[in-house]
Amino acid sequence: MFKTDDVVIYGTYGICKIESTATRSFMGEDKEYYVLRPLFTDKNVFYIPVGSETANNRLHGICSRKTAEKLIKQMKSAEPLWIENDAKRREEFNRVINSGNKEEIIRMIKGIRLRRTELEQSGKKLRSFDESYLVSAEKMLCDELSCALEIERDKIVEILKNGNE
């Protein structure tokens, strides 16, 4: 159970702060909701039913400072994740993004970046869906590490870039 002012991750939407809980009537039934506001954009407000298993599976606390530091140290040694078959790769990348597993997200980022470098060396480009997964994965990871370490997101981007070289 989360409380007001907790900082959480809500699925692929990113880092949010629980502003409050509110009772709302939906289809004639009153339910209690977490009111989430994304930290890095003012565009959305999310109402997540308190106690809903489906919604709460997508709602997680951010990692600790210690875990964030450990993840950064492990970046260079992480095994890149890449699957040659487009359909299988798309399926696996989707699973990784939805899981929120940071170790797998790092492997995915590393795999996509390595593949992009290989393709660029031969004058080719990465498929657009791979670029899209890379953007989503980097946003998820950088936002969470930025919050956990209490440093600017741009610094996390640099750390991530250097850790994957």
- List the domains of the chain with CATH numbers: 7-61 (2.40.10.170), 65-163 (1.20.58.1290)
pTM to 2 decimals? 0.84
**What separation, in Å, do the N-terminal and C-terminal C-alpha atoms of the chain show?**
39
Residues 77-115: tens digit of each pLDDT: 999 999 999 999 999 999 999 888 999 999 999 999 999
Indicate whether 76 pLDDT > 60.
Answer: yes
Q: What pLDDT does residue 32 have?
A: 92
Q: What is the mean pLDDT of residues 67-75?
A: 92
Q: What is the mean pLDDT of residues 59-77?
A: 92
How many helices and strands, by DSSP H and E, does the chain display? 6, 5
* 3-state percent breakdown (helix, strand, coil) of the chain, nearest 5: 50, 20, 30
Please give the single-letter amino acid code of residue 127. Answer: R
Indicate whether 163 pLDDT > 70.
Answer: no
Structure tokens at 46: 């999310």
Indicate whether 165 pLDDT > 50.
Answer: no
Q: Exposed, middle or buried: residue 80 (CB in 10 Å: 0-12, 13-18, 19+)?
A: middle
Q: What is the mean pLDDT of residues 39-53?
A: 85
